[in-house]
Amino acid sequence: MFLKIKFLGAAREVGRSCIVLELSDVHKIMLDAGVKLTQTGVVYPLIEVPDIKEMDSVNAIFLSHAHLDHVGSLPYIEHLRVEAPIYATSPTIKLGKILLEDAYKIENHKNKVPYKHADLEKLSKYFQHVRYNKTYEINVGLNKIEYEFVDAGHIQGSASIFLKIKNKNEEKITTLIYTGDINSIDTQLLEKHYFYREDSDIERFKEVDCLILESTYSDKEHENRELIEKKFIETLKLRQKAGPVIVATFGVQRAQELLTLFEKNKLFEKYNIYLDGMAVKTTNTFLSESEFIINADLLRKAFRKVNHIHGFEERRIALKKRGIYITTSGMLSGGPVMSYLKELHDDPNTTILLTGYQCEGTNGRTLLELGYVEVDGRIFRPKCYFEKFDLSGHAGHKDLVKLVEKLKPKKVILNHGDESSILNFEKELLSKDVQVIAPKINEEIEL
Ligand SMILES: [Zn+2]
Ligand SMILES: [Zn+2]
CA of 70 to the centre of ligand 2 (A): 6
Nearest bound ligand to CA 216? 2
Distance CA 364, CA 361 (A): 8
CA of 343 to the centre of ligand 1 (A): 29
0.75 surpassed by pTM: yes
3-state secondary structure of 166: strand
CA of 320 to the centre of ligand 2 (A): 36
Q: What secondary structure letter does DSSP report for 109?
A: H
Residues in CB range of 220: below 8 A, 6 or more apart = 396, 397, 421
Q: What is the pLDDT of residue 1?
A: 61
Q: What is the pLDDT of residue 201?
A: 93
Distance CA 447, CA 445 (A): 7
**Domain map (residue ranges) of the chain:** 3-220+393-446, 225-388
Distance CA 79, CA 88 (A): 20
What residues sit around ligand 2, an ion, with C-beta below 5 angstroms? 69, 181
Residues in CB range of 53: below 8 A, 6 or more apart = none
Nearest partner of 327 among 340, 343, 344, judged by Cα:
340
Q: What is the pLDDT of residue 340?
A: 95
Distance CA 44, CA 66 (A): 16
Are 75 and 100 within 8 A, CB to CB?
yes
Distance CA 46, CA 51 (A): 10
Q: What is the pLDDT of residue 110?
A: 74
Q: Consecutive 10-residue runs of the chain (447 residues): their mean pLDDT? A: 90 96 90 89 85 86 97 94 94 97 86 91 97 97 95 98 90 94 98 97 96 97 96 97 96 97 98 95 97 98 97 94 95 92 94 92 94 91 96 96 98 97 98 98 93
Are 18 and 9 within 8 A, CB to CB?
yes
Polymer length of the chain: 447
Architecture of domain 3-220+393-446: 4-Layer Sandwich (3.60)
What is the arrangement of strands in the sheet containing 143-151, beginning at the earlier edge strand?
Answer: 136-140, 143-151, 159-166, 173-178, 210-214, 412-415, 436-437
CA of 69 to the centre of ligand 1 (A): 7
CA of 165 to the centre of ligand 2 (A): 25
CA of 365 to the centre of ligand 2 (A): 16
Distance CA 83, CA 59 (A): 8
**Is CATH 3.40.50.1240 what the domain over 225-388 is classified as, yes or no?**
no
Residues in CB range of 18: below 8 A, 6 or more apart = 7, 8, 9, 10, 30, 31, 32, 33, 34, 45, 73
Nearest partner of 30 among 2, 9, 1, 53, judged by Cα:
9
Nearest bound ligand to CA 153? 1
CA of 348 to the centre of ligand 2 (A): 33
